[in-house]
Amino acid sequence: MSGGEARRSEGLLAPPPVAPVEPLRAPPSVAVVITAYEAADTVGVAVRSALEQEHAADQVIVVDDGSTDDLGGALREFGEAIDLVRKPNGGGASARNRGLEAAETEFMAILDADDAYHPRRLAAIAEAARLRPDLDIVTTDARLIVDDEPKGRLSTVAPFAAENQRAAIVESSFVGGWPALRRERLRAIGGFDEKMRIAYDWDCWLRLIIAGSAAGMVTEPYYDYVLRSDSLSANRVASLWERPRLLEKALADPNLREEERPRVTRAIRRRRSEAVREETRALLADGSRSRERLLQLLSTRNVDVNARALAALGAVAPTAARRVSGPPSGRV
């Protein structure tokens, strides 16, 4: 797709501004923060994609989260074009927070070391942020790349919500695609929660939006989100359990409105039930059925009757449970 074709087909999904806004004369400054752990084999592609943008980043920062492979060797070719920050291993949230500290720009755009930007991504983000200076979260759609093959767009899995974003972010992580974030607002909420090993991204977007931030998405897929099919099922159960936990955190957020609490409470029940069902399927499917764990799942509080019944059936009649449960979903 040529640059001219890209410009004609781009659109911006965003809520209407709450007050009149005037476009900025120039786009805001943007730093690309690439977090890397044991990513020597892939980080070069990510860095190159950040450096070869139509709209140049003001900074490209690579945060080495305590890698033991030859990450430094993989980055040597880029020399002074990047800022390399090294830190002890602490997980993705702490690596992104270190990038937040190192950035000196208005926005921080995130890129995983396994992924890549399309050449126009920063231009699209910068123009959207210029036209809508009220947006604190600006992203683009993303391509899902599974086992090196394109498998559609992220927006088909998690449709972007242009309206009623406070309610929508409770239901799904619709922001997706590793956005650019206004650093002032990200600092104000305390950055990413380093106690969370999974789902810290959704937790962050939720806290930003509940605190009053608005999000916009350019509709072209200018981010390549790379996945491996053999990792999807392995990560899914742990990810599902993090979702009710982050929603439980939201109940304690002082920015949550009283009338929003019932929606969050319902979402917690739904997400906890989903986690019980998926873990039960996984235990039954891999042949390592643990009756003790299934009984623990059976005793999980605040889940729906179908999830509880499946755990009970798995504990007492695993063959029957396999027939009615189906395999683990392994969805993205």
One-letter identity of residue 200: Y
Question: With bands split at pLDDT 50, 70 and 90, how would you rate the model's confidence at 176?
Answer: confident
What DSSP character marks residue 84? E
Report the mean per-residue pLDDT for the chain. 91
CB contact burial 255-277 (16+ within 10 A = b; e otherwise): ebeeebeeebeebbbbbbbbbbb
Question: Superfamily for 29-227?
Answer: Spore Coat Polysaccharide Biosynthesis Protein SpsA; Chain A (3.90.550.10)
> What is the reported pLDDT for 46?
98
> What is the reported pLDDT for 229?
63
* Paired residues of 117 in beta bridges: 223
11 compared with 282, residue with greater pLDDT: 11
CA 129 → CA 83, 105, 207, 217, distances in Å? 24, 13, 20, 10
If 0-12 CB within 10 Å is exposed, 13-18 middle and 19+ buried, where does residue 209 land?
A: buried
Q: Could you tell me if 205 and 173 are in contact, meaning their C-beta atoms sit under 8 angstroms apart?
A: yes
> What is the reported pLDDT for 23?
97
d(CA 41, CA 33): 18
Kindly report, residue by residue over 290-319, the tens digit of the pLDDT: 788 888 898 999 999 999 999 898 888 888
> What is the reported pLDDT for 230?
59
**Residues 24-49, mean pLDDT to the nearest whole number:** 97
What DSSP character marks residue 32? E
Q: Could you tell me if 116 and 45 are in contact, meaning their C-beta atoms sit under 8 angstroms apart?
A: yes
Comparing 4-8, 71-75, 87-91, 265-269, which segment has the lowest mean pLDDT?
Answer: 4-8
> What is the reported pLDDT for 22?
96
Question: With bands split at pLDDT 50, 70 and 90, how would you rate the model's confidence at 332?
Answer: very low
> What is the reported pLDDT for 328?
64
**Residues 132-159, mean pLDDT to the nearest whole number:** 93
The tally of CA atoms less than 13 A away on the side-chain side of residue 240 is: 25
Q: Which of 259, 318, 274 is nearest to 294 (CA)?
A: 318
Does residue 82 carry a pLDDT above 90? yes
Element (H, E) at 151: strand 149-153
H-only helix segments in the chain:
3-9, 43-51, 71-75, 92-102, 121-131, 154-157, 165-171, 183-188, 200-210, 229-251, 261-285, 291-298, 305-316, 318-325
d(CA 293, CA 197): 22
The tally of CA atoms less than 13 A away on the side-chain side of residue 200 is: 17
Q: Which structure tokens are listed for 101?
A: 């500290």
> What is the reported pLDDT for 289?
55
Does residue 162 carry a pLDDT above 50? yes
Question: With bands split at pLDDT 50, 70 and 90, how would you rate the model's confidence at 165?
Answer: very high
**Residues 98-121, mean pLDDT to the nearest whole number:** 97
Does residue 76 carry a pLDDT above 60? yes
Query: Does residue 61 come out as left (phi exceeding 0), alpha (psi in the -120 to 50 range) or beta?
Result: beta
CA 100 → CA 31, 73, 84, 185, distances in Å? 9, 24, 13, 11
d(CA 97, CA 95): 5
**Residues 164-175, mean pLDDT to the nearest whole number:** 96
d(CA 319, CA 289): 11
pTM here is 0.91
Helix axes 261-285, 229-251, angle to 10 degrees: 150
The proportion of the chain whose per-residue pLDDT surpasses 70, expressed as a percent, equals: 92
> What is the reported pLDDT for 4?
41
Kindly report, residue by residue over 224-254, the tens digit of the pLDDT: 999 876 554 557 888 899 999 999 999 999 9
> What is the reported pLDDT for 322?
83
Domain ranges within the chain, ordered by starting residue: 29-227, 233-325
CA 92 → CA 33, 60, 89, distances in Å? 12, 17, 9
